[in-house]
Amino acid sequence: MTTSAESVLDQALKLPANDRAALVENLILSLDKPDPLLDAQWLKEAEDRLAAYRTGELTAVDAEQVFADLGKQV
């Protein structure tokens, strides 16, 4: 972390809890900017997967099975 970021953090930690929470929320929102190119790529991926599923090229797995398998890995 840069010196200026550390300074901002030190100042932020001195704020009341509700101000810190609002600051965190605004910082997170500033990182979550829509990216039209990325959105278009995800849309194409979703459409390709749906098409593959409909043609039988791709099979579905029941959500319960997925979560059960994930639980085994923990």
Q: Is residue 3's pLDDT more than 80? A: yes
Domain boundaries, the chain: 1-33, 36-73
pLDDT tens digit sequence for 6-15? 999 999 999 9
- The dihedral over CA atoms of 55, 59, 63, 69, expressed in degrees to the nearest 10, equals -170
The answer, as to whether pTM is greater than 0.75, is no
- Output DSSP code: residue 1: -
The Cα-based distances of 55 to 1, 42, 45, 63 in angstroms read 50, 20, 15, 21
Distance, in Å, from the CA atom of 62 to the CA atom of 64, rounded to the nearest integer, reads 5
pLDDT tens digit sequence for 21-72? 999 999 999 998 889 999 999 999 999 999 999 999 999 999 999 999 998 8
